[in-house]
Every structure is written in structure tokens, then in C-alpha cells.
Amino acid sequence: MIGTDLSYAIQLLRSEAVVAIPTETVYGLAGNALSPRAVSTIFEVKNRPSFDPLIVHTSHLERIAALTSEMPEPALQLARRFMPGPLTLLLPKSDVIPDIVTAGSPRVAVRIPAHPMTQALLAALEFPLAAPSANPFGYISPTTAQHVEDQLGEKIPYILDGGPCRVGLESTIVGFENGSEVVVYRKGGIAVEEIEAVVGPVFVRPHSSSNPEAPGMLKSHYAPSAPVVLGDIESLLPRYRGQKVGVITFKRAIPGLPPERQLILSPTGGLAEAARNLFAGMRRLDALQLDIILAELLPEEGLGRAINDRLRRAAA
Ligand code: TXA
Ligand code: MG
């Protein structure tokens, strides 16, 4: 069921049920992070392997202190600048976080979402919420309540509707190694350049399925059911003559293709708008039962880097 009843969501979460929640990045599938029972329900509903840890969401910076055992200086600087917002920090965990949440890792991922409905929810609860993106494992993240309903509606009691997600890409995940070396593990809603403006140069660790630091950041992810091929669309098109082709472009239309099979991410060439449109657009294309989706990469700067990361993973 989709609705906007906060007290009902609170009641469900207090009884260890899971509820889908809006955030400014993507919708999450939330449960009491301190309850192994609630957390294992999240894994079941998503069909997510137990080695892939979950982000813990809370309402205030002061509340992060109880969830973690250490806050390096650059973490504090980033938290002050970007929280609430699309930033997740990987920090040494405190004992209150059950091992199932971090898949046995000594580090916990923490985030303060900026969405007002979820802010109010988190502030009202006496526990933090573990929440992965509210999609079946490996599929595109949901950016509307309806996306969640389409795939998980029958498995969960309630979906809080906070409208379409303002950012549309998952949070940027940042951790700290050897004391204060800053590492970006997942490019997301805050551009790497914005992080660097606060803490100086960072490492961007390429994701892979064999990266033990972030087991969930699998190479093939965010994948629609039609195969995705990246490259120069005009030169690729002749190879797929006679097939039902869809395209993803940054800002231009491709002549000769039906408009409904074209996802133009931002006609005005804005990266934030492109980010906002990407996942919903991929779902729309996916519903057309295409044989193939041809996609072009965006400029490799700002949010373009995170968008390209998702396109590459959809194509992997
Ligand atoms: O924007 C977001 O981050 C959304 C919203 C709902 O907050 N959440 C989200 O969660 O994207 P999820 O589970 O789909 O992706 C979280 C990523 C996974 O790749 C997971 O492996 C990684 O974060 N992660 C979580 N906890 C971790 C930990 N303790 N150590 C390493 N990686 C972790
Ligand atoms: Mg996810």
C-alpha cells in the first residue's frame, strides 16, 4: 500500500516490519537497524545476499556518535558540509550495530537523508533505520513510490510516498584509510569535486565484484532486462537494423527513431536534471521490451561521473 501516514509507518517499524521510505537520492527499504529480525527481513524482501552490508540512516549528526566509535577529522568536515544530504560515511562501528547490518565488517555506513518526510520519521523513532535501495537485488534503484510498488508492493506492508526523488542517484560513499586518507567507494549524488573542495584530493576506488572493501558494489548492477551497449549511437545503429532499439542520450534526439524509445536525459544539458531522470527513464525504456539499448556517456565531470558509472554498470 502507498500512502503518507507517518504514524502508521512508525507503528510498523516499531513492530520490526519493513517500510519503504523516500529519500532525496532513491527510495529505501527500511527496518530497525538495531533489530537483527527486521534487518533479516530486508535481506529477504530484496533477495539480497547476506554478504552485502546496509547503510544505517539517522536524523542528526549527534546521533551518529552512538553508532560509530571514531570520527576522523575529514569525516567531521564532510559531515558538517553535506549532512543531511546524499553523502554516506563509512566509519568504525560501535557495538550497538548488529553484525548482520555490516555483513561482519568492523565499519558501518551512516547517512542522514535530507527528505523532510524521512527526517520527521527518523526524528520520531528511538532507533536508526537500516535501508538499502528499495529494488530487487541487481535492478535499477526506485525514484518514485510507484517504482517500489511495481516490484516489491506485494512483499511489504507500506510504502511512504514522498514524491519523485530530487537527486535520483544513490549517495556518494566515502571512507577513510590509514587514518585520514579519503576514499570514494561509490560515486553518487555529491560530486567527487565537491568532496575534494572540502578535504583535498581523494582516491576514487574503482568498483568491482571482487573488491572486499565494498562487496555490494558489483560490476553488473542497475541493469535493465534489455542489454545495454555504450558508444557512439550513430555508428552503432546500423549493426542493429531490424531490431527494436532504444537509446539513452545526454541532450539530443536521434533522427529516425520513435520518440518513446528515446531517453533524452536533459534537453538543456544539465547534469543534475540528467541524474534525476536516469533511473525512471531506464525503467520506462525497459517496459518497452526492447532488443537492445544504445547509450552514450556524458561528460566525465561532476555528477556526469556518477551517471557514467551507472551506465557502465548497466552495460556490464
Ligand atoms: O542513497 C543511498 O545511499 C540509498 C538510500 C536509500 O539511502 N541507499 C543505497 O543502499 O543505495 P544500497 O544498499 O543499495 O547501497 C549501499 C552500498 C552497497 O553497495 C553496500 O555494499 C555498501 O553501500 N555498504 C553498506 N555498508 C557498508 C559497509 N559497512 N562496508 C562497505 N560497504 C558498505
Ligand atoms: Mg542498491
Examine the domain organization and report whether 52 and 130 are in the same domain.
yes
Q: Does ligand 1 have an atom closer than 6 angstroms to the CB of 166? A: no
Examine the domain organization and report whether 270 and 151 are in the same domain.
no
Examine the domain organization and report whether 125 and 179 are in the same domain.
yes
Count how many domains the chain has: 2
- Which 8-state DSSP code applies to residue 239? G
Q: Does ligand 1 have an atom closer than 6 angstroms to the CB of 249? A: no
What would the grid cell of residue 192 be? 567527487
Examine the domain organization and report whether 196 and 240 are in the same domain.
no
Examine the domain organization and report whether 53 and 164 are in the same domain.
yes
Which atom of ligand 1 is closest in space to residue 27's alpha carbon? Answer: 6
Examine the domain organization and report whether 29 and 113 are in the same domain.
yes
Rg of the chain over Cα atoms, rounded to whole angstroms, equals 19
Q: Does ligand 1 have an atom closer than 6 angstroms to the CB of 216? A: yes
Examine the domain organization and report whether 127 and 159 are in the same domain.
yes
Helices (H), the chain: 6-14, 36-46, 61-67, 73-82, 99-102, 116-124, 145-152, 192-199, 233-236, 271-286, 303-315
Please, what is the angle between helix 271-286 and helix 303-315, to 10°? 20
Closest CA to 35 of 12, 51, 52, 2: 12
CATH number of the domain that 202 lies in?
3.90.870.10
Examine the domain organization and report whether 163 and 87 are in the same domain.
yes
Examine the domain organization and report whether 56 and 130 are in the same domain.
yes
Q: Does ligand 1 have an atom closer than 6 angstroms to the CB of 53? A: yes
Examine the domain organization and report whether 9 and 34 are in the same domain.
yes
Q: Model pTM greater than 0.75?
A: yes
- For residue 264, the enclosing domain spans 223-315
What would the grid cell of residue 39 be? 534487518
Q: What is the residue-level pLDDT of the chain in tens, covering all 316 positions?
A: 999 999 999 999 999 999 999 999 999 999 999 999 999 999 999 999 999 999 999 999 999 999 999 999 999 999 999 999 999 999 999 999 999 999 999 999 999 999 999 999 999 999 999 999 999 998 999 999 999 999 999 999 999 999 999 999 999 999 999 877 999 999 999 999 999 999 999 999 865 444 444 544 555 667 788 999 999 999 999 999 999 999 999 999 999 999 999 999 999 999 999 999 999 999 999 999 999 999 999 999 999 999 999 999 999 8
Examine the domain organization and report whether 15 and 159 are in the same domain.
yes
Mutating to test ligand 1, I would choose from 52, 55, 129 the residue with most ligand atoms within 8 A of its C-beta, which is 55
Q: Does ligand 1 have an atom closer than 6 angstroms to the CB of 175? A: no
* Partners of 108 in the β-ladder: 91
Nearest ligand, CA 129: 1
